[in-house]
Structure 1
Amino acid sequence: MKHSSAIQLLLAAVAAPVRAAFSWKNVNIGGGGGFVPSVVFHPTTKGVAYARTDIGGLYRLNPDDSWTAVTDSITTDERWGHWGIDALALDPQNPDKVFAATGMYTTDWDPNPGAIIRSSDRGATWQSVDLPFKVGGNMPGRGMGERLAVDPKNSSIIYFGARSGNGLWKSTNGGVTFSKVSSFTNVGTYIPDPSDVGGYNGDKIGLTFVTFDSTSSLLNGATSRIFVGTADNTTASVYVSTDAGATWTAVAGQPAKYFPHKCRLQPAEKALYLTYSDGAGPYDGTSGGVYRYDLTTSTWKDITPVSGGDLFYGFGGLGVDMQKPGTLVVASLNSWWPDAQIFRSTDSGNTWSPIWEWAGYPDQNWYYGLYSDNAPWINAGFISQDTKRLGWMIEALEIDPLDSDHWLYGTGLTLFGGRDLTKWDTTRNVTISSMAVGIEEMAVLGLASAPGGSELLAAVGDNNGFTFKSSSDLGTSPQKPWMNPMWTSATDVDYAGNKPQNVVRVGNSAGSPQIALSTDGGDTWNVHPGADSTKNSGTLAYSAEGDTILWSSGNAGVLRSANQGTFTAVAALPSGAAIAADKKNNTVFYAGSGNTFYRSTNTGTSFSAVSSALPTGVTAVRDIIAHPLVAGEIYVSTNAGIFRSTNYGSTFSSVGSLANTEKISLGKGEGSSWVLYAFGRGANGAKLYATANNGATWVDIQGDSQGFGAISANRVVGSSNVAGQVYVGTNGRGVFCAKGVVSGGGSSSSTSSSAVASSTTTKASSTTAGTTLSTSVVKSSTSSTTVKPSSTSKAASSTTTSAAASATPTVYAKRWGQCAGNGYTGPKVCEAPWVCTFVNDWYSQCL
């Protein structure tokens, strides 16, 4: 659907936004928070190491054991896949060079090609070359590898093992271009779920590693012997070339029933060590093995640490000590109970020592001390709550090649490690700590900042959520996550405008109630007594007095609970509707879906569509926010930009030139002013913009050095307590914070409320029949203005929309959302410009 000519003229007439990028840094949640599939040390230069993550980009190790993110600048809205790192390689001859294969998914619904990025200054700047296929940094098998390797004797030669049946690729110019190696024909045919065509589990895992044998001779200036692994578990999965990649053969005598995950060369021993699992990982696998391949005799040896009933998991992580030939460590990939297991051998795998043993069930002997001082919430929310102290999904496990005491291993939660590993061989009491300072790898699903309450409330995936009571807490990792109840993820959080200490959150776990309440600003929580175990996910709107919750759930439509009662359906609102509560008027809620704006004046009991509230050209209401201090002032983000109302949504006017906007927020500005922040498409591209004069001028506060990934997946909230401070919640890089001044005057005031501008595209007649709403300014944080029906009308303002209403508004599925499939009953038309694309009989998606 096209925008109206009025909107087009308005957008064309406004000047380009000012570029005034803020200085961004992470809020210190700390401890990583997500899966770290790999760590790579430089073989000859001390202190050079990188960690790759599946959704949080690439990080460089600092001298103090902290990490610096190095891929933020290239992870734009168009190339959000640069935060998915599927492979990592360093140049053995040049410690300044680093390479990575980037791309998030190989599914049908990720349109972006994969890329090989390269840096010659340790990640300060990057160059990129697109590949003619996709890369899957967050796909099954992402812990395998490394799939990318630089010839240790020729920096111009780089190999990359692709997914999806695309085979082996080679660069002969240092990563500037890549071409397919036609002589390598074994593409890795394993598919986790062949029936999931085009979906997450429906693709070939492909190649699993590339390992050069640096002990082999040179041939035409290249290392002659190269090993490549494939995801095949039938006849062969390890192949070798002895002529610098001209021809390839299966390695004789190899295991034939598992997938190879890691392959490490120990040059002093002239041996390869390999870990295997019967699953692609990082979640699956019930058996596996560890093998040693002697390069001199071309013989294999099974050195698996356990057997029989003790072998109920596969192996992933593998670290080889370059200072002590014959010393190595391996880890269980997915021992879900009672804990992960790590084994160490000092005799090339002939004998092994575990990091813990049974002392007589259920007691264990732990040959380690475990600490989470850098991120206390890890112990409070996970280590102390679960038998899995050491972690899970261990694919990354490395010994520093220049320091036998320094080791690191990655889990699905954090990056652990220590600096006294050789104590394992004597006293055995090694020190393990969370060593992920600077790694912020969380998908942020909801943000809030309560005026006079908690400065920042962050709902996150996998780790539930966190509370930062004041701005001074932002640099300190929290003592605990949101607990009691503790869920897998929290998908949203909101506060009561007149009682900011009252907070509500929603989780996504199945089988238990997923609404929790706090009366102390998000410090402690209680389960909502009216929530049941069948509903979860979605977004929330909390009434100004904290007595009513509106819940746009993920699986049961829009629901309402009053006074902690049972949640019941709100029939007038479409499933997936955007919702908001007036922050000062306890009786008013707002909602939007498709091209329709809805309002309730009876605490969400019923809603009425405000006819013609939004202009022609709006097809997708994406976000609704209410002014934190002014009753009746709201902003609506749509495919056609942002619209503002100062009379409870009776009429709206356009807020400047920003187009196709996503999440929006108001934040405290200078003096009594408020700043509007918005993710949208402006003159500087798809970015985060701000205005302090209701869109007369928009300022690009993101700039070119800070990427936030896909803007449609991000959250934004302006601080309600600190002038000029704003937060961005990303889909993979945690929460960012910046502070600055947006010039141009206040967008609105906490002491006055302006009338709708004369240029408004709607008329007052759009007010719901029989209802008169007066805009009120509330100065007190404890009072609210009641909206009353007109004294001349007998029809109450809360009149329920009749089932026989003349036109049910079209509901549009959002970008990435489901839009068709067997048994699917949700919206089947995508919001512009996205198209409903067939994936399989059960699933179609807006792309």
Structure 2
Amino acid sequence: MKKTAAVGIVLAALSGVRAAAPVNYTQHYTWKNVRTGASGGFVTGIVFSPKQKGVAYARTDIGGLYRLNSDDSWAPLQDYVNNTLWNEHGVDAVALDPNDASRVYIAAGIYTNSWDPYNGKIMSSTDYGKTWSRANFPFKFGGNMAGRQMGERLAVDPNKGSILYFGARSGNGLWKSSDYGKTWAKVTSYTAVGTHIVDPGDSGQNGDIIGLTFIAFDSTSSAAGTASKRIFVGTADSSATVYMSEDSGATWSAISGQPTGFLSHTGKYSPTEKALYVSYVDNANTYGGGDGYVYKYYVESKTWVKILDDNGTGFGFGGLTLDPQKNGTVMVTTYHQWWPDGNIYRSLDGGATWTTIWDFDWSGVQPPVKRRYDWDISQATWLPEITGDKTTGWMMGSIAINPFDSDHFLYGTGATIFGSHKLTNWDKNEKFTLSSLSYGMEETAVLGLTSPPQGPHLLSVVGDVGGWRHDNLDVAPSKAFLTPSWGTTRSIDHAGSRPNIVVRSGDGEGGLALSNDTGATWHIHASAGSWNGGRAQLSSNGDFVVWAVNNGLYVSANEYPFEKVPNIPSGSYTTANDRNHNGLFYAAENSNFYVSTNAGTTYTKKTSSIGYIREIGVNPFRAGDVWIATDTGIWHSIDSGNTISRVGPATDAYHVQLGKSATSNGYPAIFAAATIQGWAGHYRSDDGGYTWTLISDDSNGFGTPGNNIYAADPRTYGRIYIGTNGRGTFYGDASATSPVPTAADAYGQCGGQGFNGPKACPHGYTCKVSNAYYSQCL
């Protein structure tokens, strides 16, 4: 299983400047994660505080930073991320102050590619990550680039907490702060840049210079209150990969006698042994390394000793940790050992001898391994369907032993965090329990959502780990979608009048699957052929499938062979189905809006003048009622697209979906990600789209709207599901203590100092300011 890039990344942010809240009333919403029980994404770094027991952080490539709770669950720290701050969900490094547990720092930024418009920033917190200050850099960071599990490339001087060093990517070298991360300057005396590139011809994650990989201090090299004299810096450069300064960073030199031909992955310094441990791999490709070893550098004798070698077996070494309570105890993970499983090595004598978390067993067991541990995946029982049964995991880029508890360790994988509270059983040749311990860390890239009118309230599909049927939004599903089981699953949809029929498309063999029991069981569509991916949707009765794939639209009836729609040009299509009329399908490509009345067999263009079309939403309770989100706002038709008119004040919109009405005969609740009166956010309308209520807030931003996935609940008034690109799926309900806002009367008061009444006006009226004490609907 391999962690993909953030799927479908859309870099454009909603227009407008967030200078002041819109006139529209803001209704308080309660937002919760839809639980899956495990990260579902790549946990690239884990660090424990050496100062305060119980304080630890985990960083992810596209899901932000998390802090450990006392019950082994994790608390997200960056849910404020919105359309203007979305790159802060990429955490390229994390550092803690060894003498002040409240201080935490992160290097924030997702991509170094030219199509990422945002530079990186070092973010500082003095309250355990509750609030942040930012130091902006003149170049980009890469929390989702190749080599993202290396590190940590950000570190705090253990003798003088005001000093930090940061090792940059892209040839930008080493940077230093002397004022707790507020300002930074390049260390011009350090000239190595880490020139390794995974694939020089790649325009994506693998085509940039990896840069510097780790920073480590010798805390014994100076007294408290003065800058540490001895500092180590790792680079992704196989000719000279570890550099050292012995004069507090004034001068640097490559350490003599070091191994060549490999990249330094992780470096940890043992002050009691006066030795630097370094893990090596031959390639920074996130999904594969071919060779590697572990070396130890003794400072006093200035000698390097090879303490572990993979002997050319093709995996290299990645995460490395020391136990400060047990001198000479070191653990290291294999970088990418895919068969029969990833492995972890442990030594109690400074690397002289090693044992492994599993050993080969050729007695006939399958897979051929004998494990030291029992496996507990009770928090996410679906994990074996993705990772395999009893596995240690893959993409093990970070491992950490709790400095206050030698029995407690954690390591990150491409799907979860594993760990144990009985680690030292290993040393007694007794089994310990290896548990999935990432509850609360929802880190999936959501690609599709649908909320049927009966059965489970939600079905979801995601990148890398497939998807789920959510029978209880607050409890992890017992299993993932199977038969077929795909990693990245692209779309999911239910039939309007027969919601037990569900279709999903994905990247893998079969490519298209159908369910007749609302996602409980599946079979491959009889005519899927060799295609995969795309977006698939069902007719209301579930007998027709329209599949936007292979740069066109294709339709199949009753699992007969797909036929390409003949009368529309090739293109990348956005599609929607009418849940109350079996023949109605909608499609859009760029600014062209099409309607089919014969179950997707042919389409008629209705307009090309409403702007770039991003999403089509349909009223689940009324045929022919279609809504369109475009870069010019929200458009509406009540006659299946024959006439279309712009509705409401939105000037830009990414999503529009419809759910249950507040009353038995009222308008359905309409949800939109849009810019209204210059304010980009998530909104709800209860009056047909004329007035809107802001339902997102400063604590819940949901990242970039262009990467969100929307579904409205047809059974629960006010409930909206928002899928994110890295923080899983959220569901929001209107707070019971926050009444549904009503509009002021025509010509009635709508604002002013001390006014607590309705602040929205009826359709056709605008709230005009007369003075500081009175505004009126005119």
Q: TM-score, normalised by structure 1?
A: 0.83
Question: How far is the alpha carbon of 1:571 from its aligned partner?
Answer: 2.6
Question: How far is the alpha carbon of 1:457 from its aligned partner?
Answer: 0.8
1:57 pairs with one of 24, 41, 64: 64
Equivalent position SS for 1:152: coil
1:178 corresponds in structure 2 to 184
* Range with greater deviation from structure 2 (588-597 or 494-503): 588-597
Question: How far is the alpha carbon of 1:361 from its aligned partner?
Answer: 5.6
- What per-residue deviation string (whole Å, max 9, x for no partner) do you get for residues 581-608 of structure 1? 1101101111122222211111111111
Structure 1 position 546 matched with structure 2 position 542: yes
Structure 1 position 169 matched with structure 2 position 167: no
Equivalent position SS for 1:500: coil
Show the 5 A alignment for 1:41-190. 41-73=48-80, 75-190=81-196
* Cα distance in 1 between the residues matched to 2:651 and 2:495: 30
Equivalent position SS for 1:183: coil
Structure 1 position 536 matched with structure 2 position 532: yes
1:562 corresponds in structure 2 to 557
- Do the aligned residues in 2 keep the contact of 1:341 with 1:356 (CA within 8 Å)? yes
2:232 corresponds in structure 1 to 227
Structure 1 position 498 matched with structure 2 position 493: no
- Do the aligned residues in 1 keep the contact of 2:292 with 2:310 (CA within 8 Å)? no
1:730 corresponds in structure 2 to 724
Show the 5 A alignment for 1:382-397. 382-384=387-389, 389-397=391-399
2:221 pairs with one of 197, 201, 216: 216
- Do the aligned residues in 2 keep the contact of 1:664 with 1:678 (CA within 8 Å)? yes
Cα separation, partners in 2 of 1:379 and 1:524, compared to 1, 3 Å: same
1:521 corresponds in structure 2 to 518
Structure 1 position 378 matched with structure 2 position 383: yes
- What per-residue deviation string (whole Å, max 9, x for no partner) do you get for residues 763-822 of structure 1? xxxxxxxxxxxxxxxxxxxxxxxxxxxxxxxxxxxxxxxxxxxxxxxxxxxxxxxxxxxx
> Residue type of the partner of 2:269?
L
Show the 5 A alignment for 1:415-454. 415-454=417-456
> Residue type of the partner of 1:259?
L
Question: How far is the alpha carbon of 1:655 from its aligned partner?
Answer: 2.0
Equivalent position SS for 2:653: coil
2:690 pairs with one of 675, 693, 696: 696
> Residue type of the partner of 1:71?
Q
1:585 pairs with one of 576, 581, 606: 581
Cα separation, partners in 2 of 1:278 and 1:306, compared to 1, 3 Å: closer
Equivalent position SS for 1:566: coil
Question: How far is the alpha carbon of 1:312 from its aligned partner?
Answer: 1.9
Equivalent position SS for 1:422: helix
Question: How far is the alpha carbon of 1:218 from its aligned partner?
Answer: 4.5
Equivalent position SS for 1:501: coil
2:750 corresponds in structure 1 to none
* Cα distance in 1 between the residues matched to 2:619 and 2:455: 15
* Cα distance in 2 between the residues matched to 1:702 and 1:118: 25
Cα separation, partners in 2 of 1:493 and 1:102, compared to 1, 3 Å: same
* Cα distance in 1 between the residues matched to 2:638 and 2:553: 25
* Cα distance in 1 between the residues matched to 2:713 and 2:395: 37
Equivalent position SS for 1:591: strand
* Cα distance in 2 between the residues matched to 1:594 and 1:205: 36
Structure number with greater CO (CA < 8 Å, separation at least 6) is 2
- Do the aligned residues in 2 keep the contact of 1:305 with 1:343 (CA within 8 Å)? no
1:630 corresponds in structure 2 to 622
- Do the aligned residues in 2 keep the contact of 1:464 with 1:481 (CA within 8 Å)? yes
- What per-residue deviation string (whole Å, max 9, x for no partner) do you get for residues 17-71 of structure 1? 3222412121111211011111000012100000000011000001111100001
2:592 corresponds in structure 1 to 596
1:667 pairs with one of 645, 659, 679: 659
Question: How far is the alpha carbon of 1:305 from its aligned partner?
Answer: 5.0
* Cα distance in 2 between the residues matched to 1:627 and 1:428: 60
1:770 corresponds in structure 2 to none
Q: TM-score, normalised by structure 2?
A: 0.90
* Cα distance in 1 between the residues matched to 2:740 and 2:278: 56
> Residue type of the partner of 2:295?
Y
Question: How far is the alpha carbon of 1:459 from its aligned partner?
Answer: 1.0
1:481 corresponds in structure 2 to 480
- Do the aligned residues in 1 keep the contact of 2:43 with 2:413 (CA within 8 Å)? yes
Cα separation, partners in 2 of 1:609 and 1:758, compared to 1, 3 Å: farther
Structure 1 position 288 matched with structure 2 position 292: yes
> Residue type of the partner of 2:547?
W
Show the 5 A alignment for 1:217-366. 217-218=222-223, 221-234=226-239, 236-304=240-308, 306-307=310-311, 311-360=313-362, 362-363=364-365, 364-366=369-371
* Cα distance in 2 between the residues matched to 1:264 and 1:251: 15
* Cα distance in 2 between the residues matched to 1:717 and 1:659: 22
> Residue type of the partner of 1:660?
D
Cα separation, partners in 2 of 1:51 and 1:220, compared to 1, 3 Å: closer
- Do the aligned residues in 2 keep the contact of 1:89 with 1:148 (CA within 8 Å)? yes
- What per-residue deviation string (whole Å, max 9, x for no partner) do you get for residues 689-714 of structure 1? 11111222211111111121111010
- What per-residue deviation string (whole Å, max 9, x for no partner) do you get for residues 251-302 of structure 1? 1111111101111112222211111000114212110001111122221110
* Cα distance in 2 between the residues matched to 1:653 and 1:758: 15
- Do the aligned residues in 2 keep the contact of 1:454 with 1:501 (CA within 8 Å)? no
Would you say how many aligned residue pairs link Structure 1 and Structure 2?
Answer: 717
- Do the aligned residues in 2 keep the contact of 1:540 with 1:580 (CA within 8 Å)? no
- What per-residue deviation string (whole Å, max 9, x for no partner) do you get for residues 647-699 of structure 1? 11111222201122112211213223421111112236322111111222211
Equivalent position SS for 1:351: coil
1:819 corresponds in structure 2 to none
- Do the aligned residues in 2 keep the contact of 1:693 with 1:744 (CA within 8 Å)? no
Equivalent position SS for 1:697: coil
1:767 corresponds in structure 2 to none
> Residue type of the partner of 1:251?
I
- Do the aligned residues in 2 keep the contact of 1:692 with 1:744 (CA within 8 Å)? no
- Do the aligned residues in 1 keep the contact of 2:38 with 2:436 (CA within 8 Å)? yes
* Cα distance in 2 between the residues matched to 1:266 and 1:403: 17
Equivalent position SS for 2:43: coil
- Do the aligned residues in 1 keep the contact of 2:22 with 2:679 (CA within 8 Å)? no
> Residue type of the partner of 2:467?
G
- Do the aligned residues in 1 keep the contact of 2:22 with 2:676 (CA within 8 Å)? no
Structure 1 position 711 matched with structure 2 position 705: yes
* Range with greater deviation from structure 2 (566-575 or 631-640): 566-575
- Do the aligned residues in 2 keep the contact of 1:67 with 1:439 (CA within 8 Å)? yes
2:741 pairs with one of 720, 740, 743: 743
- What per-residue deviation string (whole Å, max 9, x for no partner) do you get for residues 617-670 of structure 1? x23111112111111111111111111111111112222011221122112132
Question: How far is the alpha carbon of 1:381 from its aligned partner?
Answer: 3.9
1:28 corresponds in structure 2 to 35
> Residue type of the partner of 1:158?
L
How many percent identity over aligned positions?
Answer: 44
1:639 corresponds in structure 2 to 631
> Residue type of the partner of 1:572?
N
* Cα distance in 1 between the residues matched to 2:547 and 2:125: 46
Show the 5 A alignment for 1:455-466. 455-466=457-468
1:609 pairs with one of 570, 584, 605: 605
* Cα distance in 2 between the residues matched to 1:320 and 1:150: 18
Structure 1 position 406 matched with structure 2 position 408: yes
